[in-house]
Amino acid sequence: MKKLFIEMYKKRYLVMSCLLALLVVILAVVIISMYTDNDSSDENPVQDNAENLTSEQTGLLSGDSNFLVVCNGETPGEIVFMSLVEFRIYSESIVVTPLLADTDVTGSTYGEYYAYGGISMLKNAVESTRQCKIDRYVVMDEDGFCNIIDMMGKVSVTVNEEFTYVSSDKSYLVRTGDNEFEAPMLYSYFTVISKKNSPELLADLLCTVINEYMPDVEADDALAYFEDLCNCVNSDISIADYYSCSADIEHLISSDTVCIPYYEGEQ
């Protein structure tokens, strides 16, 4: 009888021990989940908005990024400019490197790669010659370029050599010195610089536009600007890219970011 009582006591003790262990595990899980929820609530609220995106929509931009930018002319095959734009996020700089269409790449040129293979072939050619990884491309025509500039208003430009601007109803001489260009005239000036085949002038001009654009963007309006810009161009940039690098974008906007013109041969 005493032996039976001891066996029953052992079983009851074992059951109670298991129940107690299970209770401890449940409490641990609850505490950990509460801590995780509180910790995640402190994260960037813009990132939280990306939770509904599918895995295919997840952006790939994070940290420093290289963009390949091409602006087409009025006639098929005409290139106003092409450039590599490097966003060096935490060094708070944007480096602009113009790419010349006649640059040789294994018997062909950048211009030929683009004319016959499109932006993807140009991207591969630039990556192979410059030993870099291009994250995204941006292609625009005159309308897209002008729409972007219209978002800024006028752009202050120092003209190094006078040129004739021809509009739909008149033409007049634009003299050297400081000028304020609206979108059509600025596009015309870009075509003039392009024909000079001068990477130095083109790099300076691109940085002038970027440096004038950046201070006008407020962090609170960054998403709206981002969407407006995407509507002006043909690109593989997605809205998910904004969410994936929102902290980087806001860091660039809120910092004293400077655009650095760079061209081959510069030390």
Residues 188-245: tens digit of each pLDDT: 999 999 888 888 999 999 999 998 888 777 777 788 888 888 899 999 998 888 888 8
Q: Distance between CA 211 and CA 237 in Å, rounded? A: 22
Enumerate the domain spans of the chain: 60-261
Is CATH 3.40.630.190 correct for 60-261? yes
Q: Dihedral (C-alpha) 8, 11, 16, 20: value to the nearest 10 degrees?
A: 170
Q: Rounded CA gap, 108 and 45, in Å? A: 47
Q: N- to C-terminal Cα distance for the chain?
A: 97
pLDDT digits (tens, 9 = 90+) for 35-55: 444 444 444 434 444 455 555
**pLDDT higher than 50, residue 2:** no
Beta strands in 24-64 (DSSP E): none
**From CA 175, how far away is CA 56, in angstroms rounded?**
51
| H or E element at residue 234 | strand 234-235
Neighbour-count burial of 151, counting CB atoms closer than 10 A to its CB (0-12 exposed, 13-18 middle, 19+ buried): middle
Virtual torsion, Cα 28, 32, 38, 40, nearest 10 deg: -160
Q: What is the rounded CA–CA span in Å between residue 165 and residue 69?
A: 25
Nearest Cα residue to 166 out of 185, 144, 179, 183: 185
pLDDT, one tens digit per residue, over 105-158 is 888 999 999 999 999 999 999 999 998 999 999 999 999 999 999 988 889 999
Residue 87, beta-bridge partner list:
65, 94
